[in-house]
């Protein structure tokens, strides 16, 4: 390798090493920066119009504190209504109420910033078995206790399974008497499935609660998820109310209401346009852990990205990782010999997937490119000139994305609407290149290149989402020089590509 | 496993894409000379000045208003080829055998309506086939009537001969033979056959079809090796002169054998591919190193370079696989 290249790469690698060493050894920065937990922002909006009693009253469950959730900031907007916040059992309640004019609707807004500790809000052990459902009468309670008596002696996890099977009608042998089963069916009809399940699990001495919450994912919810939580002696297990299947414990949920309460109850008036928006607030989460930097007067601390306004921090959190993405593309192309569409296309695809999520992003991309390819084939017969042809393709791609958004709105799929501004360029270019590749090198080569691009995009996506890496570059932006150093070294790699070992196999000089 | 494979390729002197780009194209091919090979009009002017034969250029169409009726008053027998000046990979080329009131007749007998061909030329001018989509010119050139040397191993189309020239020395050569799969085009990606040619003896050997060794042409069934390429010395000399034309140290020279004129230059390529190594079952890197170590006086003239190359890379009996 040439000496100037090695010298430049060495300098690029040495500079961040020295600066990082100084930060760690002298300024006390962490060597492997990490921050436990997550910070989320919850927004709730709705419009309340008055009911027959000329009043409006709305009961809403708010994220509870002290269960792995810390409320850092809380705001509400009540318009003409009064607002009060209080505790009711294990729930935190926001109550909007007041007299309302006929013509005036009250816009309700609530916002809070929440810090979630890992392992999150699901690990708090229950104090005791908790209440019986208030609606269950004495007779129903006695029946439930009678039905589950047979499992009384079983250890908690086994008992839980047995009750669950019983609730689905598999009482085991000998089954309860025909009369008891008929009576239980009547109780179920009377109380409804959720409450009767609550009753049955509680009668077996299990800690159980009927809860509502929001799946903890960046999206807009118009309905809270209702589920049954049962303590198995170790953790809360969640069960779907319809199928009684266990809901994966790895999908975290932000609880809003427990012990049978609903997340939203309209006590008076009519509610419209209810929606919750959950957003992850990564930089402000980091900021809490690096408070020292924010307040420090040291030169390096004052020139930290933590001083940027919050919305720009969000940009740089991602932007600083893009060079690594291009380094990966370089590695895969020049060392592995992966075929990709263009140099930056996979990184741009990975960036576009950020707003839609990987799975939906891939589906949308595949769909639009396939559609675009057939349209492009049709257009080819018309023999349009280059620029107008690309414009037509662009218009068609945007129309496809527009239709997708409308369909997504009808189906309640936020991902179909969240495509953003970036993808249309990428999609149009991919369609054009895909078509040209099919024409010049055949369908197989084009598919191979498309798959190569997707594979690289998926790798880049994983990289851009790696929070510890984001934090490392955010805290130590000098690492960009190290990336540049690696890129320079890669630029002088003149050895074989892995794919060439296969391609030139017949030429190998066997010893 | 991987290291062993890489070591064995290195021992065989095989040139990889990364090294070709970094050590040969970037080091030997100044960017400023690329337009000379990317634009066929410029290449043709230089070829004429240096006495390298090329198919006669009848007309260069630069403006849309010159398109209508361009075929009138062309010299020759009414046969011609239209191609984009900056095209690549044979895209956008239309061959015309004869023309009349009803339109243009291609060599395979299909009729192209007049407006359709005019529209095609208009597309060429708009840059549809040019490398970066910039406006282009259309060349109207004499139609090549291929020599019968390769008739037995060719399915329609025109076979061409690619010579890789390093610092003016022809180092490796192959012929690209159209097949039914390649639709009569001499394009290896498209399914044409590549057959290596010994620099020294000018005979074909070691054919490849879609990266696999073949002995016979899949459509005609005739053997591919041992065909003697006519005018071999002239082909090598023209290739060596091409270096003086454009000053690119690492160059691909594409020629065609015309029935009457003999070898004519088709186009030059500043980034010739590496498949020629598979067709010859030999590494290019080793030969490039040999040229770099050759005595300075062999570079004095095209004749000296060709003479040295024919001695250094004699061809002859190919080494059997596995020995």
The predicted-structure confidence for B147-176, as pLDDT tens digits, reads as follows 888 888 888 888 999 999 999 999 999 999
> What Cα–Cα distance (Å) separates residue A457 from each residue in A45, A88, A450?
36, 49, 10
- Does A327 score more than 80 pLDDT? yes
| Other CB atoms within 10 A of residue A164 CB | 20
How far apart, in whole angstroms, are the C-alpha atoms of residue B273 and residue B252? Answer: 8
Instruction: Please indicate if any CB of chain B lies within 8 Å of the CB of A382.
Output: no
Q: List residues of B whose CB lies inside 8 A of any A CB.
A: 2, 5-6, 8-12, 14, 16-19, 22-23, 89, 91, 119-120, 122-123, 126-128, 133, 189-190, 211, 213, 274, 277-278, 281-283, 321-322
How far apart, in whole angstroms, are the C-alpha atoms of residue B285 and residue B10? Answer: 9
How far apart, in whole angstroms, are the C-alpha atoms of residue B130 and residue A270? Answer: 65
> What Cα–Cα distance (Å) separates residue B151 from each residue in A384, B146, B229, B284?
38, 9, 12, 29
Across the interface, of A337, A383, A511, the residue whose CB is closest to B119 is A383
- H, E, C per residue of A165-221: HHHCCCCCCCCCCHHHHHHHHHHHHHHCHHHHHHHHHHHCCCCEEEEEEEECCCEEE
Q: What is the ipTM of this complex?
A: 0.82
Across the interface, of B16, B190, B282, the residue whose CB is closest to A500 is B16
**Band of residue A1 on the pLDDT scale cut at 50, 70, 90:** low
How far apart, in whole angstroms, are the C-alpha atoms of residue A428 and residue A372? Answer: 8
Q: Classify the C-alpha dihedral A91-A97-A103-A107 as positive or negative.
A: negative
Cβ-contact A234, A241 below 8 angstroms: no
CA-nearest of B13, B39, B294 to B167 is: B294
Instruction: Please indicate if any CB of chain B lies within 8 Å of the CB of A436.
Output: no
How far apart, in whole angstroms, are the C-alpha atoms of residue A449 and residue A37? Answer: 39
Contact B277 A507 (CB under 8 A): yes
Distance from CA of B276 to the nearest CA of A (A): 11
- Does B136 score more than 60 pLDDT? yes
Count CA atoms within 13 Å of residue A501 on its CB side. Answer: 17
Could you tell me which residues are beta bridge partners of residue A247? A238
Specify the pLDDT at position B318: 45
Cβ-contact B84, B136 below 8 angstroms: yes
Cβ-contact A116, A67 below 8 angstroms: no
What φ, ψ does residue A76 adopt, rounded to 5°? Answer: -140, 160
Q: What is the mean pLDDT of residues B52-74?
A: 88
Specify the pLDDT at position A414: 75
Contact B16 A497 (CB under 8 A): yes
Contact B123 A383 (CB under 8 A): yes
- Does B321 score more than 50 pLDDT? no
Distance from CA of A453 to the nearest CA of B (A): 19
Measured between beta carbons, the chain B residues lying within 8 angstroms of A334 are: 18
Determine whether B129 is exposed, middle or buried from the number of CB atoms within 10 Å of its CB (0-12, 13-18, 19+). buried
Across the interface, of A494, A505, A507, the residue whose CB is closest to B18 is A494
Among A444, A504, A505, pick the best mutation site for testing chain B contact (most B Cβ within 10 A): A504
How far apart, in whole angstroms, are the C-alpha atoms of residue B242 and residue A485? Answer: 39
Instruction: Please indicate if any CB of chain B lies within 8 Å of the CB of A337.
Output: yes
Cβ-contact A64, A91 below 8 angstroms: yes
Specify the pLDDT at position B319: 43
Could you tell me which residues are beta bridge partners of residue A99? A55
How far apart, in whole angstroms, are the C-alpha atoms of residue A366 and residue A371? Answer: 8
Of residues A126 and A297, the one with the higher pLDDT is A297
- Does B299 score more than 90 pLDDT? yes
Instruction: Please indicate if any CB of chain B lies within 8 Å of the CB of A334.
Output: yes
Q: What is the mean pLDDT of residues B298-314?
A: 93
Question: Dihedral (C-alpha) A55, A58, A59, A65: value to the nearest 10 degrees?
Answer: -130
Contact A440 B91 (CB under 8 A): yes
Contact B16 A505 (CB under 8 A): no
Measured between beta carbons, the chain B residues lying within 8 angstroms of A507 are: 9, 12, 14, 277-278, 281-283
DSSP of B172-184: EEEEEE--TTTTT
Distance from CA of A329 to the nearest CA of B (A): 15
Contact B123 A385 (CB under 8 A): yes
Instruction: Please indicate if any CB of chain B lies within 8 Å of the CB of A383.
Output: yes
Specify the pLDDT at position A340: 83
CA-nearest of B137, B83, B33, B75 to B266 is: B83
User: Both ends of chain B: CA-CA distance in Å?
Assistant: 21
Determine whether B285 is exposed, middle or buried from the number of CB atoms within 10 Å of its CB (0-12, 13-18, 19+). buried
- Does A57 score more than 70 pLDDT? yes
- Does A488 score more than 90 pLDDT? yes
Sheet holding B250-258, edge to edge: B212-214, B204-209, B193-197, B169-177, B160-166, B250-258, B262-269
Measured between beta carbons, the chain B residues lying within 8 angstroms of A337 are: 17
Averaged pLDDT score across all residues of chain A: 85
């Amino acid at each position: 390798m040439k000496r100037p290249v090695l010298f430049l790469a060495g300098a690029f690698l040495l500079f961040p090493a020295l600066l990082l060493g100084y930060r760690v050894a002298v300024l006390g920065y962490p060597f492997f920066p990490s921050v436990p937990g997550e910070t989320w922002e919850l927004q709730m909006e709705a419009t309340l119009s008055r009911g027959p009693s000329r009043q409006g009253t709305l009961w809403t469950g708010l994220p509870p504190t002290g269960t792995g959730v810390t409320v850092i900031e809380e705001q509400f907007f009540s318009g003409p209504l009064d607002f009060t916040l209080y505790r009711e059992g294990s729930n935190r309640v926001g109550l909007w109420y007041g007299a309302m004019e006929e013509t005036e609707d009250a816009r309700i807004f609530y916002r809070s910033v929440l810090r979630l500790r890992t392992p999150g809000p699901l690990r708090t052990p229950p104090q005791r078995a908790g209440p019986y459902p208030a609606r269950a009468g004495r007779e129903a309670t006695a029946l439930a206790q009678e039905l589950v008596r047979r499992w009384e002696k079983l250890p908690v996890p086994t008992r839980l399974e047995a009750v669950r099977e019983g609730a689905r009608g598999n009482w085991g042998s000998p089954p309860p008497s025909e009369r008891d089963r008929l009576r239980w069916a009547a109780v179920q009809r009377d109380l409804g499935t959720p409450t009767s399940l609550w009753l049955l699990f509680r009668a077996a001495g299990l800690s159980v609660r009927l809860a509502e919450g929001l799946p903890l994912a960046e999206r807009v919810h118009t309905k809270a998820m209702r589920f049954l939580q049962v303590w198995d002696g170790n953790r809360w297990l969640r069960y779907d109310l319809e199928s009684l299947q266990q809901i994966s414990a790895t999908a975290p949920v932000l609880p809003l209401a427990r012990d049978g309460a609903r997340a939203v109850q309209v006590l008076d008036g009519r509610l419209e346009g209810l929606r919750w928006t959950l957003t992850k607030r990564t930089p402000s989460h980091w900021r809490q852990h690096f408070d020292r930097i924010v307040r420090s007067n040291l030169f390096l601390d004052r020139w930290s990205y933590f001083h940027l306004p919050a919305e720009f921090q969000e940009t740089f959190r991602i932007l600083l990782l893009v060079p690594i993405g291009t380094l990966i593309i370089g590695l895969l192309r020049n060392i592995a010999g992966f075929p990709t569409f263009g140099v930056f296309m996979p990184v741009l695809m990975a960036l576009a997937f950020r707003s839609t999520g990987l799975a939906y992003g891939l589906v949308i991309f595949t769909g639009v490119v396939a559609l675009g390819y057939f349209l492009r084939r049709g257009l080819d017969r018309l023999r349009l000139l280059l620029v107008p042809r690309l414009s037509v393709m662009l218009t068609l791609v945007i129309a496809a994305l527009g239709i997708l958004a409308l369909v997504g709105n009808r189906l309640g799929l936020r991902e179909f609407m969240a495509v953003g501004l970036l993808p249309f360029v990428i999609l149009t270019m991919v369609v054009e290149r895909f078509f040209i590749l099919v024409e010049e090198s055949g369908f197989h080569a084009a598919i191979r290149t498309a798959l190569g691009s997707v594979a690289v995009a998926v790798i880049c996506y994983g990289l851009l989402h790696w929070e510890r890496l984001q934090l490392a570059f955010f805290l130590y932006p000098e690492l960009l020089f190290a990336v540049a150093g690696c890129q320079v070294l890669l630029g002088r790699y003149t050895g074989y590509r892995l794919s060439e070992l296969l391609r030139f196999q017949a030429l190998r000089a066997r010893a | 496993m991987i290291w062993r494979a890489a070591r064995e390729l290195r021992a065989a002197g095989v040139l990889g894409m990364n090294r070709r780009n970094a050590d040969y194209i970037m080091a030997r091919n100044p960017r400023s000379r690329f337009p000379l090979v990317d634009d066929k009009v410029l290449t043709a002017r230089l070829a004429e000045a240096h006495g390298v034969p090329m198919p006669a250029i009848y007309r260069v169409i630069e403006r849309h208003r010159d398109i209508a009726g361009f075929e009138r008053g062309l010299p020759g027998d009414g046969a011609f080829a239209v191609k984009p000046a900056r095209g690549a990979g044979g895209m956008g080329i239309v061959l015309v055998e004869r023309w009349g009131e009803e339109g243009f007749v291609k060599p395979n007998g299909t009729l192209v309506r007049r407006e359709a061909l005019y529209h095609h030329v208009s597309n060429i001018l708009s840059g549809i086939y040019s490398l970066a989509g910039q406006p282009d010119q259309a060349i109207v050139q004499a139609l090549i009537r291929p020599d019968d040397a390769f008739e037995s191993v060719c399915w329609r189309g025109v076979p061409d001969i690619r010579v890789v020239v390093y610092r003016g020395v022809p180092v490796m050569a192959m012929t690209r033979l159209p097949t039914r799969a390649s639709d009569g085009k001499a394009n290896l990606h498209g399914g044409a056959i590549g057959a290596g040619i010994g620099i020294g003896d000018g005979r074909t050997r070691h054919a490849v079809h879609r990266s696999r060794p073949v002995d016979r042409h899949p459509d005609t069934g005739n053997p591919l090796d041992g065909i003697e390429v006519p005018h071999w010395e002239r082909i090598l000399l023209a290739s060596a002169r091409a270096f003086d034309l454009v000053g690119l140290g690492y160059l691909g020279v594409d020629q065609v054998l015309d029935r009457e004129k003999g070898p004519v230059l088709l186009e030059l390529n500043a980034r010739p591919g590496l498949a020629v190594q598979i067709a010859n079952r030999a590494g290019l890197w080793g030969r490039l190193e040999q040229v770099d170590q050759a005595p300075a006086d062999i570079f004095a003239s095209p004749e000296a370079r060709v003479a040295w190359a024919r001695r250094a890379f004699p061809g002859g009996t190919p080494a059997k696989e596995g020995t």
